[in-house]
Amino acid sequence: MGLFHLANCLLLATGPYFLVYKVSGMRENDAFWKCCKMIVLYGITQLTRFFLATLVPHHLELTVQNNFLFFDVPGALIELVVVYFSVRRASSRSEFSILASSIGWATASLLSTKYIPIWFGTKGLEFDWRYICLSYQANLEMVIIFSLFYSLWIIVRRQGPVACYCVGFLIICAASLRHSIFGALEHRWSSLLEEMLVKTLLVCALGLGTLALRTVMHADKASSKMSVDASFWRDTGEAIRSTWRRYCSHADSFRGIRANGHHVPKRR
């Protein structure tokens, strides 16, 4: 029965990820390596968070407030910076690239924060609601990570009212501090059913807010910094290539003159 319970938990945690990967067409568009790159980037980000956690003074009292200020907030900022540069790099591409990046990041979070507790926790247990809820929470985190990536991509790329930017920043802050918010809800609610219900409502609010941003902010920015940077590097590359072609043509003509025996006067 323990093996059956483990299989149920893993299926509940992994099934939606597989369905999204299958239905969204990422397999046909060769997005597997993009997801693998995001998994590696997630691992590097977590190692950076662990390294910065070692810099906290050892005499610091581990209270809830200190844990939030010295561990949760810096970790959320590091993750947000990495996600921002990842989204900024893929901002000139389609929404499919953002989807692949978010699925890769969510898969890495699933492997590191859900698989290990489920694997070691369900050994010798016939059934436990805690691990069923943990598997269900993995699906909620997939929606949160998608909201984080997509909201940040919308704010960076598209234009809209000021209220939409405020809603987007709230979604980004809530998604970045999801572990702290979930931890506070776990301490607040003693019942697993009530806790999962509140978490589900919160995640639904973030997802619906992201869809509302996508509906309202549908126009791309006309003069965004990324488009200026892209045009600058494109024009620079074209100028370098044209200069190189001119140099090669002059060099070929010079070799032809020397090969025909004509004397080329030296420039003074």
Taking the mean position of all CA atoms in its chain, how far away is CA 214?
17
* DSSP code string of 197-265: HHHHHHHHHHHHHHHHHHHH--EEPTT-HHHHHHHHHHHHHHHHHHHHHHHHHHHHHHHHHHHTT---P
pLDDT at 163 over 70: yes
Backbone angles phi, psi at 219, to 5 degrees: -95, 135
32, 121, 137 from 126: Cα distances, Å: 35, 11, 20
Structure tokens at 208: 């619906």
pLDDT at 234 over 70: no
pLDDT digits (tens, 9 = 90+) for 103-119: 989 999 998 888 888 88
pLDDT digits (tens, 9 = 90+) for 37-79: 889 999 999 898 888 878 777 776 767 666 777 777 888 888 8
pTM of the complete model: 0.74
Q: pLDDT-based confidence at 184, cuts 50/70/90?
A: confident
pLDDT averaged over every residue in the chain: 79
With contact defined as beta carbons under 8 Å apart, do 13 and 114 qualify? yes
**Helices 192-216 and 129-157 meet at what angle, rounded to 10?**
20
For the chain, how many helices (H) and strands (E)?
A: 11, 2
